[in-house]
Amino acid sequence: MINLEAPKKFQPLIGQAHQVAMNMLRPVSRKYDEAEHEYPKELDMLAAMIDGLSDSGQSQGAGASGVGTASQAKADDGSTRNGTNLASVLSIMEMCWGDVGLLLSMPRQGLGNSAISSVANDEQLERFEGVWAGMAITEPEVGSDSARIRTTARQDGDEYVINGEKIYVTSGDRADHIVVWATLDKEQGRAAIKSFVVPKGTPGMVVERLEHKLGIRASDTAAITFTDCRVPAENLLGSPDIDTKQGFAGAMATFDNTRPLVAAMAVGCARASLDLTRDLLAEAGVKVDHDAPALTQSAAAARFLQMEADWEGAYLLTLQAAWMADNKEPNSLQASMAKAKAGRVGSDITLGCVELCGSLGYSEHDLLEKWARDSKILDIFEGTQQIQQLIVARRILGLSSAELK
């Protein structure tokens, strides 16, 4: 059974990630928020450090590239295991306490890397080891309903020919590979959607523009077109077979692993806001007493206690979803619950902290206003709040997507 405390073996990892967030990410957070689209060169040294830890085995699989399928993570003796998925969410929480946009800009830690780890076979895992992969899902007029993807992949001999347009691709310009979701046969519906690893520079793949955004401005977000873009057949992740009985399950395996990661980002950003707000309230003479009922305290203290309680719920749901993946337990419901809870309370908490701190929260004197801007995307990408609630309802009621829309 899951323990509600972070495992002791991950404490060094958590401590290292927190130090990186405090000493490397926080100091340049405002700089790269203002210099949108400028690559944070400081991350090259950090990426080299993480690569060194990974090679030595000390990183415990932390980061987006460290997640794996439940079957990969299960302990050989069948015992309960705290593995790479849990390590990943714990380290990401700490890094996003520093800066979400910079975390999303980390080389070789893109969401596409998580997709590769989730779906690829053993040969592909070895072949794509060390790449930096962005993930291209969203299309014009096709947002949260990934099953309606219109980008096509037509097999031609030993290659697939990809045609379509993707938007809001995180690290779409900087990453050296892009994981592209496309359909093999539109008439086959969800079951025909597969993901392909497309190397940057492949003829027919063009980065059309970079988007200007409300938050996570340090992270580049691109629109990419694919025109008769040819990739080797072996770059299709997982099985090329269209299994109508399995439906969308193959593609959903990616979301089951990436949604807890995004939830962890929201949890980390919200924690940063709470920590700073607690200090600012104390400086203003507002005492927050955790041993006294909220109704006996000031309105500001009561609001702060409520936000902390919401944060705790999001934190525990995120750990649960990752822990279940590590222990070969289906976690689609829990992954969506964690993403929905963390995405919503992340926005609520960061905005609530801005309100509690008044002019200091709204100004650029501190990072509170930036965290409020950054957190909103975490309630949107990898499936919006509304989509997560729909998935949760389907799982709880035992209804299909056709039965509950």
Please identify every residue annotated as catalytic: 382
List % helix, strand, coil for the chain (3-state, nearest 5). Answer: 55, 15, 35
Residue 144, SS3 per DSSP: coil
Angle at 138 between CA 134 and CA 144, to 5 degrees: 125
Among 105, 102, 67, CA closest to 321: 67
| 8 A C-beta contact, residue 261 and residue 88 | yes
Give the count of beta carbons closer than 10 Å to the beta carbon of residue 211.
14
What whole-number distance in Å separates Cα of residue 218 and Cα of residue 36?
6
What whole-number distance in Å separates Cα of residue 184 and Cα of residue 160?
9
Exposure string (b/e) for 352-389, b if CB count within 10 Å is 16 or more? bbbebbeebbeeeebbbbbbbbbbbbbbbbbbbbebbe
Residue 7, SS3 per DSSP: coil
| 8 A C-beta contact, residue 384 and residue 144 | yes
Residue 4, SS3 per DSSP: coil
CA distances from 8 to 15, 94, 358 (A): 11, 16, 38
